[in-house]
Amino acid sequence: MQYEEYAAIYDRSGQNSFSLLMDIYLRDLLRTHQVAGRSMLDLACGTGTLALMLAERGWAVLGIDRSAAMLDEAERKVSELEEELDIRFAQGDMRDFTIDARVGLVTCCYDTLNYLTDDADLRQCFASVARALVPGGLFCFDLATDYFLEHYWQGVEVEEFDAGTQIMQSHYDHASGLSTLVLTGFVEVTPGRYRRFREVHVERGYAQPVVRHYLEQAGFVVEAVYDCFTSQPPNERSLREMYVARRS
């Protein structure tokens, strides 16, 4: 299963840097697209980096992720904090989940929704998010573009970091529109001894009109689509799009 073996080295491999950027970007977005209250859901929260930063800024945060191993890492981070934050984590599937009380904000970041390669799954996810939001609540999420998947998620990359190495081999299939990344990792378990693991990650890009249509079907009004990490609209070379949709 994806992110089970990878969880132990996910942050050390530098993947959490995306969450650091997203935290700064969300501050700007939420000044423009305001939300009532301070309750939120971070969907597909991973190791909890973004959820923790938002909790530190006063949000009551629920983080949901399918991977038990990633949630273990998130819980470990919380246990190491000296201050007490209003944050909790639960295991769940982003396609079909329910929460105890509706929230004012839902985030879903780092091209997580690209993993939903079937239109029906994306529609189901949007419907679940709509049920989780209060009327007028905000849904902020990013999607990697086809341009990124075709031109940037390509070839072989080797990265060495503290206590491990990862090799990423990517290929874009023009016929299906799917991009496949094979991740091979080596984790140091004792000095000089490594455990090898392999995961396959498949992502799909979605055209903006399709995403807008599915959001509207789920009861959202799309307030903006940005070239991610900017306040500008996307262009033909945008690597990532940020959607801001409000539950009507």
Q: pLDDT digit string (tens) for 193-214? A: 889 999 999 999 999 999 999 9
Same domain (yes/no): 126, 181: no
Range in 38-52, 80-94, 126-140, 158-172 with the lowest mean pLDDT: 158-172
Q: Does pLDDT of 31 surpass 90?
A: yes
CATH at residue 173: 2.20.25.110
Same domain (yes/no): 10, 131: yes
Q: Does pLDDT of 236 surpass 90?
A: yes
- For the chain, what is the domain count? 2
Q: pLDDT digit string (tens) for 150-195? A: 998 888 999 888 878 899 999 999 999 999 999 999 988 888 888 9
Same domain (yes/no): 54, 168: no
Residue range 228-246: mean pLDDT, rounded? 98
Same domain (yes/no): 78, 181: no
**Is 183 inside any structural domain?**
yes
Q: Does pLDDT of 24 surpass 90?
A: yes
> pTM value?
0.95
Given this model, what pLDDT does residue 132 score?
Answer: 98
Residue range 39-48: mean pLDDT, rounded? 98
Domain range enclosing 228: 6-144+206-247
Q: Torsion angle of alpha carbons 91, 95, 100, 106, nearest 10°?
A: 100
Given this model, what pLDDT does residue 14 score?
Answer: 82
Given this model, what pLDDT does residue 97 score?
Answer: 97
Higher pLDDT, 187 or 102: 102
Q: Does pLDDT of 1 surpass 90?
A: no
Q: pLDDT digit string (tens) for 60-82? A: 999 999 999 999 999 999 999 98
Return the sign of the alpha-carbon dihedral for residues 170, 116, 247, 145.
Answer: positive
Same domain (yes/no): 192, 210: no
Same domain (yes/no): 69, 175: no
What DSSP character marks residue 188?
E
Three-class secondary structure assignment of 14-82? CCCHHHHHHHHHHHHHHHHCCCCCCEEEEECCCCCHHHHHHHHCCCEEEEEECCHHHHHHHHHHHHCCC
List of residues 6+ apart from 87 with CB closer than 8 A: 48, 51, 52, 55, 60, 61, 62, 63, 78
Q: Please report which confidence band the pLDDT of residue 125 belongs to, taking 50, 70 and 90 as the band edges.
A: very high
Given this model, what pLDDT does residue 16 score?
Answer: 85
Same domain (yes/no): 21, 122: yes
The average confidence (pLDDT) of the chain is 95
Same domain (yes/no): 129, 243: yes
Same domain (yes/no): 122, 240: yes
Given this model, what pLDDT does residue 7 score?
Answer: 87
Same domain (yes/no): 10, 122: yes
Residue range 114-120: mean pLDDT, rounded? 98
- Give residue 160's Cα distance to chain centre: 23
Same domain (yes/no): 174, 69: no
Percent over 70 (pLDDT), the chain: 100
